Structure 1
Amino acid sequence: MTQAAGLPRRKLVVLGNGMAAGRVLEELFARAPERYDVTVFGAEPRVNYDRIMLSPVLAGDKSFEDIVVHDEAWYRRHAVDLRKGETVVGIDRAARTIRTQAGVVEAYDELVIAVGSRPILISVPGHDLPGVVTFRDLDDVNAMLEASARGGNAVVIGGGLLGLEAAAGLALRGMKTTVIHLMPTLMERQLDPNAAYLLQKAIEKRGIEILTSANTSAILGDGKVEAVRLDDGRTLPADLVVMAVGIRPHVALARDAGLEVKRGVVVDDFLRTSDPNIHAVGECVEHRGNCYGLVAPLYEMAKTLAASLAGEPAATGYTGSALSTKLKVTGVDLFSAGDFSEGDERDEIVLRDPARGIYKRVVLRDNRIVGAVLYGDTADGSWYFDLLKKGTDVGSLRETLIFGQAYQGGGVLDPRAAVAALSDDTEICGCNGVCKGVITQAIVARGLTTLDDVRAQTKASASCGQCTSKVEALLAATLGDGYAGSGRKPMCKCVDLTHEEVRGFILSKALKSVPAAMQELGWKTSCGCPTCRPALNYYLLCAWPGEYRDDAQSRYINERVHANIQKDGTFSVVPRMWGGLTTPAELRAIADVAERFKIPTVKVTGGQRIDLLGVRKEDLPAVWAELNAAGMVSGQAYAKGLRTVKTCVGSEWCRFGTQDSTGLGVKLERFLCGSWTPAKVKLAVSGCPRNCAEATVKDFGVVCVESGYDLHIGGAAGLHVRATDLLGHVATEAEAIECIAAVLQLYREQAAYLDRVYKWVEKTGLDRIRAAIMDDPNNRRALFDRFKKSQRAVQRDPWAERAAGRELHEFMPLAVLTPVRRRMAAE
């Protein structure tokens, strides 16, 4: 479109000279090159450049000249009056003028606000010290280049896109670099935990230290940056601190002018503000409740705004953008798009290749892609993104979708069923480089009949275990009716490995997080299920006490609210009574709580405690707060851990008592409390062989006799009734405590998740347990020491402290739980 003859040119003033403003002008000049006299005010003293390429400039891959979008000649060619280094400080809407910081006043017919965003500075002590920079413009890059030339230590606060790009560039420049990130995983807005785990591995391989779940409390230094102190007391040396914790739309100018402002400058679908002669575009904008910080939406906005300024007939306008992300770090292939959060109405397809470090996840709703995360192989990212934006029905592609565009049209692809048809040189086990021919040859030549045989002879599936199902398929195809099956029972549908294999690989491969375990062990889902997730969480807790932090997402609702849900939706609250002992003050507190909250039922339990039944969900925080204030803590009646230690009165009161059973019970309960176990654990201590505390039907029992203490193991009195086995006899209380803690630790380390103690005893054999505990004092002491170490970790862990009653109750409404948690809560 060209300017109509005889019409006067209008005056267009643009505030901002960034990528959004530049694209608006490009589009406008293509449509109506003669319509406006254009003046551009840019706060930076330079021409328009590509901000998303600042990371390569920092890394040394590009120079500033390489990233210039519009050079001086471009402005001259289009007769643009560029005012570099002039900051606009006011807008007079009535007079239709703007005012610069230097006092210059410029009139406009149409005004475009494209002032972008401002980096967020966390207001910790020392944030204004020399040596603290942001990562937003070329001046920031120059400051980082100057600092890196001197070497030393760099600390980057923020593990998002910009923070990681800054860290990678500084590391390449020779600085020892640490990234501090508040959240548990990197780039949590763009990546799921599995992709974030792989990203962290890749970044750490570059020599960059990553500290997640870490919060900055202060930046230290005398006249310049010298260190960063974290909330947990750690101090990191720092010669440079880069704050990359996010951006905020720059709205001060618009707000002062009286325009409608929320998070950003509010615009309609044609990028008009609340003043019809003022438009806004880019990162400063809020459109339909959304603010965008990526370049693609800015360019889409710019196209719409340019058409509007050119006077083209209104179409649909700008309706919002689907987002995709790529990380600009050499050697890291990462792509994400759309919404890949979980949801009950959603389906997902997951592909993992631990040997090659590949993870792909596509999220579907109603047979349409709504989100995708790719790591290690991003070749199909654009294809998935196109399907997402178009809302294409991919139902017919469902079976092959995860394998990418090249696999479409080839029918159903079932790798497990088709493994027998693969060529002999096809790699089956990526970890150990074992191809199909080697496996089938070994089966035939050496008469192998079991999975363990194949593992021993070929190493196939002996590392991460992900190829186990393929190896079993080869056994079945090669042996035919001669293959009896492995008898293996996988943990669940999410993984082909057994509980025992998962535990073994967690230790042998030093896997210390849920995403690490799921990626390296080939989980078929992105986040597990209510069967495997709690088990995996427990195995990690047990393997790495003090290093692994308990994952709240893997906890059921009872554990979250420290109460047992009942059939009517109310809850049962059970305060702990150590060894069955209580006091008038505790009883008075329980009575007060029952009255104040109108709790309908108060019952004495079989575990020598008092149960408050019928507590409303919304009352739980206040109920626990009052009980805590009275010194009472959770009895963990919901826990996969120690629940009760039942006692009789023993020698202190009973004429038949041989030892102080109550005292020993209290000591055991206080020592063992808070330890997570594969299943619930109950103890009892009886003061004499009359066994009033029923110690011989508990998981662990102590029967006091004249000469000391008989230790029992493996009882049950629920659906399965089983009398204990005698583990052994000891003479002193100290020996009894050491043996009970040691055998509990052995159970923790060996049993499959949800196996009660008696099942573990039957699987392991009493003789082996007795040999490990009673016949080997050194091994017993080592187990006891490991248990104490785990208890020290429990006391430092906030979740475990709450569960053990060391802190006030934390309440989390069901409404905010993830779908996995919701499914767990419902069971």
Structure 2
Amino acid sequence: MSNKQEKLVVIGNGMAGVRTVEEILKKAPNRFDVTIFGKEPHPNYNRISLSSVLQGDTEIDDIVLNTYEWYEENDITLYTGDPVVDIDTTKQTVTSEKNVTVPYDRLIMATGSNPFMLPLPGADKEGVIAFRDIEDCETMIKASEKYQRAVVIGGGLLGLEAARGLINLNMETDVIHLEEYLMERQLDDTAGTMLREELESQGMRFHMKKQTEQIVGKDRVEGVYFKDGSKLQADLVVMAVGIKPNIGLAQTAGLDTNRAVVVNDYLEASAPNVYAVGECAEHNGVAYGLVAPLYEQAKVLADRLCDEKSEASYAGSLMYTQLKVSGVDVFSAGDFQSGEGKKAVRVHDEFEGVYKKVMVKDEKVVGSVLFGDTSDSPRLLDMMKKQEDISGMSKAVLLPSEEADSTDSPVLSMAPDETICGCNGVSKEAIVQSIEQDGLTSVEEIKKHTNASRSCGGCKPLVADLLQATLGDESSISQVEPLCGCTSLSHEQVQEGIRNQQLTHPREVMNVLGWENEEGCSKCRPAINYYLGVVHPETYEDDDLSRFVNERMHANIQNDGTYSVVPRMYGGVTDPDQLRKIANVADKYEVPMLKLTGGQRIDMLGVNKEDLPNMWSDLDMPSGHAYGKAIRTVKTCVGEDFCRFGTQDSIGLGIAIEKKFERLNTPHKVKMAVSACPRNCAESGIKDIGIVGVEGAWEMYVGGNGGVDLRPGDLLAKVETSDEVLEIISAFLQYYREDAHYLERTSHWVDRVGLEHVRRTVIDNMDNRKYYAEQMEVALENKPADPWESLTHNENKRKELFERKAVELV
């Protein structure tokens, strides 16, 4: 190295400090002899992606931003696991914990933040941790191998990410939040409430407006007490209540500090040749905790250090966040709360789960919240940054109708100078130029060349759309509807990928098939779980966490939070013993309503969650699966034994069908019926599978639906024996199970593929019929046991799902 190089020391090996070095290397690669000290024993990594590591979807190596080789290639001296403990601003030296002393000409403070730990009694117990670094992730993963119950204190982004990860690790997780709604710093009350509802549907549990009073236990945490007197059991407590700038070293060195290290517009601290960037820096009274402002500071400081004549200065940053919380897209920017002369333009679609709000003041957009659909975020953010005068436009234009050009990506209408990647400040024009000049053909290449999508990854869909538009390869644009917003793959492509690549786990499917959202969402996770079960019936272990709430609880949740219990009654036939059991159970548990269902069963409504397992045990009857995407009922008429018009034994066949196929998982609910004559008293003509007795034969109808979209069943076949009926049902159901999209009823599936196609597959082609019938036998041999009986004998599962959590701690 040349002796003329200035010595640059960076305290902190995180995203802000190393980004400053990256910017310096771009502008003046030989200007400085660089030394970096880091507290953690790792190279620079993407802290935003820690949740992916926690959830097991990503390895630590995958979130490394700068490998050890990068430091070597750029002649950077790196000390990991060795934080600086002393700064001598007079001698201009720093000394590390391991007693390494290095002189500097320029010193950059990039010490980041520390997690804020509530000063509660018991906060020092084993099992009480933060969620801030790789070590915290490893601690949580290790705890999940031994313990079951976790409490996350804090309903902000970090707390929700931690909770999602812990649930994926199969820990029973409760989220405690002091405020009325989630993520109150990034969302308003409407969006925060919508987020809570979505996350609850995914299995998260929330305790709002709760103030933690103490953490109890012997050596390790055993529970949490609240000020209202309630309690929760806990083997692990994760505090995610905020961060505080790490300024202890700066204070010891005599630098001016307030909440953080005070800096001017040039990021200079109070001592000569000392600078600060990132979460440890405070500019004009603001300490920023988001990645985009940190990178903006890095760019300004690099300009100043590389060119003393540079006029670059930092004027502060517009606060905005674009992220995905457990599969939900969220964006917020600026001042989005009501009041102070502001007016709002709102769109709220409760059916699609979309909410948009734009705040306007003095004919300028000053803030915005987008939930569920963030496609308008680049345009709105650009308006705010430019302080665009909107007095000449209709305010409704701020949130255009989704019907207008809904098939076009918003990136197509963006101006060249609009920002695509807010974290890294990458414009549309910069990406297009890089694609054209460097011959880029993938999002990964764009990330490497421009840094777009390198940080939070929220802009990756826009980058992909821009790549497609720039290359102009219209033939490669997929015309199929994707499974969900996490992937561009269709249901068929996902099923094909699972089969061809022999994928065996939901996370493996999402990783190998390139999910944009690595943890999936409430649409794709149940679908993947179903497809894996169909492809691997003998080996796949069902993932409870990927199921809808009703299926996890094995009961239908009602609008008041209670549940309904529907025991199975084969063919709609019961006896005095079953009726007495139901009556006794209804009395014992004070069931407020008993209702006869259209499927010829008895529904017990208004049951408390904690009573479910004991009710099931007392009933001693199998589950009717009234809550599941499975075989529901086989409705029958009284048949030839009693009816003077009956031509066949409808009850006997109905019971045989129901006993054979009960507990079988299907793409959607399946209802069947058997009528003994064409009078059709069991309504066989509007069932997924309907059997009608005629003289000496059975007519088989499929694809019927008695719901909102009333559809009569189509005649599939006419056969003579009950054995043939069972064989064709087996073949038809198995073909439906393997070919239909998850959540596609037989009525829609038959319409989509065509009745003649179904008939050729399972009726005319005897080899096919035999194959699908044999596959059905494999599925039936491996179908799950009755869930009610299983849960009554599984103490751990009972506690996990049904016991109240505010219990007395031992």
**Normalising to structure 2: TM-score of the pair?**
0.49
Computing the radius of gyration from Cα coordinates, the structure with the larger value is: 1
Q: TM (normalized to structure 1)? A: 0.48
